[in-house]
Chains A and B, each alone.
Chain A
Amino acid sequence: MPATLHLPAILAKLADAKVIESAGATVGALVSDVATRYPSLAPRLRDADGQPYPFVTFYLNDEDIRFHGGFDAPLADGDEITVVPAIAGG
């Protein structure tokens, strides 16, 4: 399914884009595709085993994917995925 991945500024720098068009049957498949296309971004999106980090949250539209099967969350045409890494500045 074609879907859009939105990156925060800190990760956008590694991909030279804030928004990446990609596709996949699941969020994990889409993340894999993006990781292959942008090798320097890959380790910031998922760990060496291809699993999500506990400090980088993926929102499928408005929902945390943890409550929808994690990287197995299915994608529908036109879904928007937002990557939100933990930040601590104050």
Chain B
Amino acid sequence: MTVVTYRTERDRPRDAAAVRPAAGKESARELPPLSHDEIVRYSRHLILPDVGVEGQRKLKAARVLLIGAGGLGSPLALYLSAAGVGNIGIVEFDVVDITNLQRQVLHGTSDVGKPKSDSARRRIADVNPHVQVTTYEEPLTSANALGIIRDWDIVVDGTDNFPTRYLVNDACVLLGKPNVYGSIYRFEGQASVFATADGPCYRCIYPEPPPPGMVPSCAEGGVLGVLPGLVGMIQATETIKLILGAGDSLAGRLLLIDTLGANFRTVKVRRDPSCPACGTRTLMELIDYEQFCGVPHAVPETQISHGVPEICPMEAAAKLERNEIEIIDVREPHELDIASYPRVTAIPLGQIAARIAELPRDRDLVIACRTGARSARAVQQLQAAGFTRVWNLAGGIHRWIDDVDPSQPKY
């Protein structure tokens, strides 16, 4: 396990300026004092009735673990550090990709290609040098989750896939750590607080995940750039409320955010007595979450085409030139404007079944999409419908751009 602890300015409370624990307050006695610099920095909090000096010291003492420094983790890291949460952990092993920058405001253009944990540490140090940052540059797994999470008070789930969401949920229930949940897709978001003492957990709402491919990822389906900011801010607010013990937490409620309809509403979430995690407690250790979510082991998106005949872009381009094949592009209409194949028939994946009669059975068909995942599903669909002369374009438009037409952008 790689644990990188980055410390900037150490808290050196000056004797004269340091705020001493209020006399007679049992709970306050263990809280760290605020330095003179900190008192000035947090003055807008200190004059706020529900925060005050004691609340600010609770924030300073708090240990919050962010799972992911992506769309949700970015605003969380920035605002929680600005607010003075004293210890922030970040589990993130990814590197910054240019397509992240549309929403992942923790990282900048100069960080592209570098580890997200590096830009996270640098930005947080600049926002608030009083924050101690710990980064775990590894994926969260059943093997390391309990060991990592055990050291923290509150976990904030900013992951982007079902296996890790169930993993975070179960680990938090097992360890009794509150799990501040947020999730986004396209224009809509959800937020809640799970695994509090008497509260429900993620499995109480969704006992099982959808089969892979039923719900496209943000990489496939897109996401409005401001949406993770909105949902991440709700998570940051809930985290601070938990630390301060202020207000009514989202525990027991699921907040539904609809940006297009400009609607926020909450629905009730109850602890399910039959929930294996928080109800019957029959789930006593972490499981294989990839298997639970039906994800094939270690198969990248571009190779899901198991048993599906493939053709590489170079060969397809040559055959297209000789008019030996037809390319069927199964991407969504708005994707066609970004990068395109020459001379294609465009039928979105969802319409293949309804428009199957439009496809010739006496021609060699090459099905194409962005990375080869959706087109593999279309090939299987066509094979099931009796098509025999059908191939998947390996690697989709990404590999087409690499191998055939570098003039077009990847997305």
Contact = CB atoms under 8 A, between A and B. Distances in A.
Given A86-B206, A87-B185, A87-B188, A66 B160 contact: no
Contacts of B214: 55
A64 B228 CA distance: 25
B162 A59 contact: no
B270 interface: yes
Contacts of A54: 206-208
A86 B184 CA distance: 10
Contact of B160 (A56, A64, A85, A88): A88
A63 interface: yes
Given A87-B184, A90-B71, A90-B182, A57 B206 contact: yes
Q: Which of A18, A57, A64, A87 gathers the greatest number of chain B CB atoms within 10 Å?
A: A87
A88 B165 contact: yes
Interface residues of A, number: 24
Contacts of B190: 84, 87
A4 to B, nearest CB: 14
Interface in B225-261: 228, 254, 256, 258, 260-261
B159 A90 contact: yes
Contacts of B258: 8-9
7 contacts: A40-B350, A55-B214, A63-B267, A64-B205, A87-B183, A87-B185, A87-B189
Interface of A: 8-10, 18, 40, 53-57, 59, 62-64, 66-67, 82, 84-90
Interface of B: 68, 70-73, 157-162, 165, 182-190, 205-210, 214-215, 217-218, 221, 223, 228, 254, 256, 258, 260-261, 266-270, 272, 350
Given A64-B205, A67-B270, A90-B182, 8 more contacts: A54-B208, A64-B267, A66-B272, A84-B267, A85-B215, A86-B206, A88-B162, A89-B160
